[in-house]
Every structure is written in C-alpha cells, then in structure tokens.
Amino acid sequence: TVAVPPAEAGAEADVAAAVRKLARGDAAGAKALVRGHVAGDPASAFVLAVSESRLGNARRALALLQPFAQSGPPPLPGSTPVETQMLLHASLAEARALTGDVSGALASWDAYARLPDATDAEKAFARDRAEALAGRLSADAALAGWRAAEAPAARAALGPEAAAALRAQGDA
C-alpha cells in the first residue's frame, strides 16, 4: 500500500463526506468541508463549484467550473464517472441560467440528457429543467434563442414560445 500524506488523506476524506452531503441536498455542508482544500485539489474545487451552484452563487460556481467544462470533472469518491458528468452539466446549467446565459444553460441541459448512460428519468429531468427555463422567456427572446441554439434539446424547449413569436409576427 501507498502511504497517503495526512493533508491529502484529509482532503480525500472531506471530499468523500462532501459528496455524501451533496447527495442529501446539503450544499452548505459540502462547501464547508472542501473550501479549505481547493488549492491543488481538483476534486475539492469541483465539489466546491457544485456547492456554489446549488447555493445560487452562480458567478463563483462558473469561475470554479470553467476548467472542468473543458477537461471534464475529476473522479469523485462514491460517484461514478457518469454521475460526476451529470453533476458538471447540471451545475453549469443552473449557474448559467442564474447569470442570464439561457443558451448556455440549455446547451448544458442538452449535454446532460445526451450522456451515454443517462436513464429515461434523467433525460426527462433535463428536458423538464430546459422547458421550465424556456418558459420564463418572452416569445421574442425564445425565438432569438431558438435561432441561435444548436443543441437539439434547446431548440425543442424553445420551440413552442418561438412558434408563438412567429405567429404574432405573421410568419407562421
């Protein structure tokens, strides 16, 4: 066996406990466990980012999530790679929605729904979140988003409101 230095063992144990807290809906508790380990520990930074997203601290969450949006999330104890990908996409979607980046949020929900091992229930969850987000837009904003969207789920979520805008313009 490889001896783990005490500081690393503490970070790993705190990340594992924080993942369990997130699973129980305790984002504040998860944040408290990992915030002291963020420097040099990608798993701690990722769990902190998910916690910030769930707590509504969108700008902080996006700043912490940005490196993982490109490279993918780090492995988390007690979480499968697909679950960790879902955490990434859901956290990005919620944080982007809170900052007004509707197209980015919808693209993140699309990525969540298109994960290879996503269940029908998980796909329905992503679709429901995307539709709820699209439903808060004006018809004209939905039409603009629909025209700009590349993600199929985003276009589907925006479609009804976009169609209403076109009807109002006499183009449908």
For the stretch 56-67, pLDDT in tens is 999 999 999 999
Burial class of residue 48 (count of CB atoms within 10 Å of its CB; 0-12, 13-18, 19+): buried
The span from the CA of 36 to the CA of 13, in Å, is 13
- The pLDDT, as a whole number, for residue 147 is 77
Note the pLDDT tens digit of each residue in 5-17: 444 568 899 999 9
User: How much of the chain is in helix, strand and coil states, percent to nearest 5?
Assistant: 75, 0, 25
* Contact yes or no for 27/47 (Cβ under 8 A): no
- The pLDDT, as a whole number, for residue 104 is 87
Q: How many CB atoms lie within 10 A of CB 124?
A: 12
- Least Cα distance to 54 among 26, 77, 82 occurs for 26
pLDDT-derived band at 3 (thresholds 50, 70, 90) equals: very low
Burial class of residue 40 (count of CB atoms within 10 Å of its CB; 0-12, 13-18, 19+): exposed
Higher pLDDT: 157 or 53? It is: 53
**154 by DSSP, 3-state: which?**
helix
Name the average pLDDT for the chain: 87
> Residue 23: phi, psi to the nearest 5?
-65, -25
- The pLDDT, as a whole number, for residue 134 is 81
> Residue 107: phi, psi to the nearest 5?
-65, -35
- The pLDDT, as a whole number, for residue 8 is 53
